[in-house]
Amino acid sequence: MPEDVNKDAMRTPATSDKATNSERPAATTVNIPLVNEVQLTAATGGAELSCYRCTVPFGVVVLIAGIVVTVVAYSFNSHGSTISYFGLVLLSAGLLLLVSSAVCWKVRMERKKERRRESQTVLVTNQRSIFT
Protein backbone atom coordinates (compact mmCIF):
# COMPACT_ATOMS: atom_id res chain seq x y z
CA MET A 1 0.00 0.00 0.00
CA PRO A 2 2.69 2.62 0.79
CA GLU A 3 4.41 1.77 -2.51
CA ASP A 4 1.23 2.86 -4.39
CA VAL A 5 1.23 6.28 -2.76
CA ASN A 6 4.89 6.90 -3.51
CA LYS A 7 4.64 5.68 -7.11
CA ASP A 8 2.77 8.83 -8.25
CA ALA A 9 4.89 11.17 -6.14
CA MET A 10 7.71 13.36 -7.36
CA ARG A 11 10.89 13.51 -5.33
CA THR A 12 12.71 16.78 -4.83
CA PRO A 13 15.73 17.44 -2.64
CA ALA A 14 15.00 19.24 0.61
CA THR A 15 16.74 22.55 1.10
CA SER A 16 18.98 22.80 4.11
CA ASP A 17 20.59 25.92 5.54
CA LYS A 18 23.61 23.99 6.84
CA ALA A 19 24.13 21.80 3.79
CA THR A 20 27.72 21.55 2.65
CA ASN A 21 29.26 19.82 -0.32
CA SER A 22 30.03 16.68 1.69
CA GLU A 23 26.48 16.30 3.06
CA ARG A 24 23.65 15.16 0.83
CA PRO A 25 20.29 16.75 1.59
CA ALA A 26 17.39 14.45 2.42
CA ALA A 27 14.76 13.94 -0.28
CA THR A 28 11.18 14.98 0.37
CA THR A 29 8.11 13.57 -1.33
CA VAL A 30 5.65 15.87 -3.08
CA ASN A 31 2.32 14.42 -4.15
CA ILE A 32 0.98 15.77 -7.45
CA PRO A 33 -2.77 15.32 -7.74
CA LEU A 34 -4.22 13.85 -10.92
CA VAL A 35 -6.67 16.17 -12.68
CA ASN A 36 -9.69 14.92 -14.59
CA GLU A 37 -11.59 16.65 -17.41
CA VAL A 38 -14.29 18.10 -15.13
CA GLN A 39 -11.71 19.78 -12.91
CA LEU A 40 -9.88 21.09 -15.98
CA THR A 41 -13.09 22.56 -17.37
CA ALA A 42 -13.85 24.18 -14.03
CA ALA A 43 -10.35 25.64 -13.76
CA THR A 44 -10.19 27.03 -17.30
CA GLY A 45 -13.80 28.13 -17.55
CA GLY A 46 -14.41 25.84 -20.52
CA ALA A 47 -11.71 27.46 -22.66
CA GLU A 48 -10.48 24.08 -23.89
CA LEU A 49 -13.68 23.73 -25.89
CA SER A 50 -13.01 26.90 -27.91
CA CYS A 51 -10.09 25.78 -30.05
CA TYR A 52 -11.22 27.82 -33.05
CA ARG A 53 -11.11 31.04 -31.05
CA CYS A 54 -7.45 30.48 -30.20
CA THR A 55 -6.24 29.18 -33.54
CA VAL A 56 -7.69 32.01 -35.64
CA PRO A 57 -5.40 34.77 -34.26
CA PHE A 58 -2.36 32.49 -34.25
CA GLY A 59 -3.18 31.34 -37.76
CA VAL A 60 -3.50 34.91 -39.02
CA VAL A 61 -0.20 35.97 -37.41
CA VAL A 62 1.66 32.92 -38.74
CA LEU A 63 0.11 33.38 -42.17
CA ILE A 64 1.19 37.04 -42.31
CA ALA A 65 4.69 36.11 -41.15
CA GLY A 66 4.83 33.40 -43.80
CA ILE A 67 3.75 35.81 -46.51
CA VAL A 68 6.35 38.38 -45.45
CA VAL A 69 9.21 35.89 -45.19
CA THR A 70 8.30 34.28 -48.51
CA VAL A 71 8.08 37.64 -50.29
CA VAL A 72 11.43 38.74 -48.84
CA ALA A 73 13.06 35.44 -49.78
CA TYR A 74 11.81 35.47 -53.35
CA SER A 75 12.48 39.18 -53.84
CA PHE A 76 16.19 38.46 -53.35
CA ASN A 77 15.99 35.52 -55.79
CA SER A 78 16.95 33.07 -53.09
CA HIS A 79 14.97 30.11 -54.41
CA GLY A 80 15.79 26.91 -52.56
CA SER A 81 17.48 28.66 -49.64
CA THR A 82 16.72 28.11 -45.99
CA ILE A 83 14.74 31.33 -45.68
CA SER A 84 12.51 30.47 -48.62
CA TYR A 85 11.76 27.06 -47.13
CA PHE A 86 11.10 28.69 -43.77
CA GLY A 87 8.68 31.13 -45.39
CA LEU A 88 6.84 28.33 -47.14
CA VAL A 89 6.63 26.35 -43.89
CA LEU A 90 5.21 29.38 -42.08
CA LEU A 91 2.78 29.99 -44.92
CA SER A 92 1.51 26.43 -44.90
CA ALA A 93 1.32 26.35 -41.09
CA GLY A 94 -0.77 29.51 -41.09
CA LEU A 95 -3.12 28.08 -43.69
CA LEU A 96 -3.34 24.82 -41.74
CA LEU A 97 -4.24 26.68 -38.54
CA LEU A 98 -6.93 28.69 -40.29
CA VAL A 99 -8.40 25.59 -41.94
CA SER A 100 -8.39 23.69 -38.64
CA SER A 101 -10.13 26.57 -36.89
CA ALA A 102 -12.78 26.64 -39.62
CA VAL A 103 -13.31 22.90 -39.24
CA CYS A 104 -13.58 23.23 -35.43
CA TRP A 105 -16.07 26.07 -35.83
CA LYS A 106 -18.15 24.06 -38.32
CA VAL A 107 -18.22 21.00 -36.02
CA ARG A 108 -19.21 23.16 -33.06
CA MET A 109 -22.07 24.76 -35.01
CA GLU A 110 -23.34 21.35 -36.14
CA ARG A 111 -23.32 20.09 -32.55
CA LYS A 112 -25.15 23.20 -31.43
CA LYS A 113 -27.82 22.68 -34.12
CA GLU A 114 -28.16 19.04 -33.11
CA ARG A 115 -28.62 19.96 -29.45
CA ARG A 116 -31.28 22.52 -30.39
CA ARG A 117 -33.15 19.92 -32.44
CA GLU A 118 -32.99 17.44 -29.56
CA SER A 119 -34.27 19.97 -27.04
CA GLN A 120 -37.09 21.04 -29.38
CA THR A 121 -38.07 17.39 -29.84
CA VAL A 122 -38.23 16.91 -26.08
CA LEU A 123 -40.32 20.08 -25.68
CA VAL A 124 -42.78 19.04 -28.39
CA THR A 125 -43.09 15.56 -26.89
CA ASN A 126 -43.72 17.00 -23.43
CA GLN A 127 -46.26 19.46 -24.81
CA ARG A 128 -48.17 16.64 -26.57
CA SER A 129 -48.25 14.55 -23.43
CA ILE A 130 -49.64 17.47 -21.41
CA PHE A 131 -52.55 18.08 -23.79
CA THR A 132 -53.56 14.44 -24.24
- Round to whole Å and give the CA distance between 98 and 28: 47
pLDDT digits (tens, 9 = 90+) for 10-47: 555 555 555 555 566 677 777 777 777 777 677 766 66
What residues have CB less than 8 Å from 59, skipping those under 6 apart?
Answer: 94, 95, 96, 97, 98, 100, 101
Answer whether 0.95 is exceeded by the pTM: no
Per-residue pLDDT tens over the stretch 33-89: 777 777 767 776 666 666 667 778 888 999 999 999 999 988 888 778 888 899 999
